Every structure is written in C-alpha cells, then in structure tokens.
Amino acid sequence: MAGTKDKIVSMADRLVRTKGFNAFSYKDISAPLDIKNAAVHYHFPAKADLGIEVVAHEIALFTSNTGKWAHLPEDEQLSRLFDIFRRYNSEGNICLMGSLATDFETLAPDMQAKVQEMGSIILQWLTNCLEQGRKNKRLHFKGDADARALMIISNLQSSLLLSRVMGPSAFHRIADQLLEDICQK
C-alpha cells in the first residue's frame, strides 16, 4: 500500500510537469487523493518542501536508471535517455528541468539549489557518456563534450515544450535528427 506521502509526491510531480510549480495548489493534490488540504501540509509544511522532494525523487530515479545502463555501450545508453523523454512526450508531460527552469526566479533558495543539483547531475552523466562514446568510436560529434551535453539536454527539454505548442510530432522530429547527427556520421 503506497503511503499518502508517496501519493502526494507523485501527484505533485505530475502537476509540476503539466501545469507548472506556481500554477498548482494544495487543493489540486488533496482533492483527487480525497484528503484534506492540511494533510498535505502535515507531510510538507511549505510548498517548497514538496517541490524539493519532487526534485529529490527525480534525482534518485535518474541515478537508479543510469546505474542500470552502465554496462551498455554509450550509444545504447544515450538511446535509453531518449526513450525516457519519448515517454514523457507521449504522456503529455514535460521534463522537470524544463518546467522548473521557467519558474526558477520565483522559487525558494533551497529549492533553487536542489534544481541546480539535478542539472549538474544530469549534465555530468551525459558529458561522461559522450566523452566515453567518442573514445569508443560509437558516438561522433565536434567540440567539447560538455558543450554537446548542454545542447542535447537543451534540445530534449525544449522539444517537449515545443511539442505542446506545435503538436507532438515536433518531439520525434527533433529527437530523430539529434540521434542521427550523433550516432552515424
């Protein structure tokens, strides 16, 4: 039996990705879970506490996933990352970074720090993956690996946003071209 606390975090995650952090309220969480507003405050006194938990959960998930892929060739690892975003897209979700970066200036300092931590972790992993992949001749790109990592993350993030406005095919067209650019050459 998944506890109330987990359900709240899961609900908040979904809401951040669909409506944005500033656009959802505790009522949006409490009503569907059939609990009271104050029950959410019991587990997460301030909204920032809930936001931090959502980000922490995402960091844990990312770390767990990339850990499982560690034995795979780099192009395959990259492909798994793309699959995650592909699923976000089909579910109408945007990525946490994309959503929270927009509202970044309005977030509490400790939540800002957590978002930055998430960014660093993702970028570090991707930079390493690209670097190793180029060494093993499985990936091909010009310039610094960390600049290229920034570009890829930026593209994945934003393609989900554009998909929402221009239709979901936008994501696939960007992702396919991106993979083609870097895997074959």
Partner DNA sequence: AAAGATACTTACTTAGTAGTAAGTAAGCAA
Partner DNA sequence: TTGCTTACTTACTACTAAGTAAGTATCTTT
Of 49, 47, 58, the C-alpha closest to 17 is: 58
Segment interacting with DNA, rule: CB under 7 A, options 20-28, 59-67, 128-136, 137-145: 20-28
Of 69, 95, 62, the C-alpha closest to 171 is: 95
What binding mask, one character per residue, do residues 124-163 give for DNA by CB under 7 A, x or -? ----------------------------------------
Query: Is residue 26 at the binding interface for DNA, with CB under 7 A as the rule?
Result: yes
The residue within the footprint of a copy of itself, chosen from 4, 10, 18, 132 (CB under 8 A), is 18
Segment interacting with DNA, rule: CB under 7 A, options 18-26, 66-74, 154-162, 169-177: 18-26
Query: Is residue 27 at the binding interface for DNA, with CB under 7 A as the rule?
Result: yes
Query: Is residue 101 at the binding interface for a copy of itself, with CB under 8 A as the rule?
Result: yes
139 DSSP 8-state letter: -
**Cα separation values, 141 from 49, 50, 81, 182, Å:** 40, 39, 18, 6
Question: Which residues have CB under 8 Å from 22's CB, separation 6+?
Answer: 103, 106
Segment interacting with DNA, rule: CB under 7 A, options 2-10, 76-84, 115-123, 129-137: 2-10
- The number of CA neighbours under 13 Å toward the Cβ of 77 is 23
Q: Minimum Å distance from CB 159 to a copy of itself?
A: 5
Residue pointed to by tokens 């690209």 = 130
**Taking a C-beta distance cutoff of 8 angstroms, is the pair 95, 32 a contact?**
no
Segment interacting with DNA, rule: CB under 7 A, options 44-52, 89-97, 110-118, 137-145: 44-52
The footprint of DNA (CB under 7 A) covers 3-5, 24-28, 35-39, 41-43, 45-48
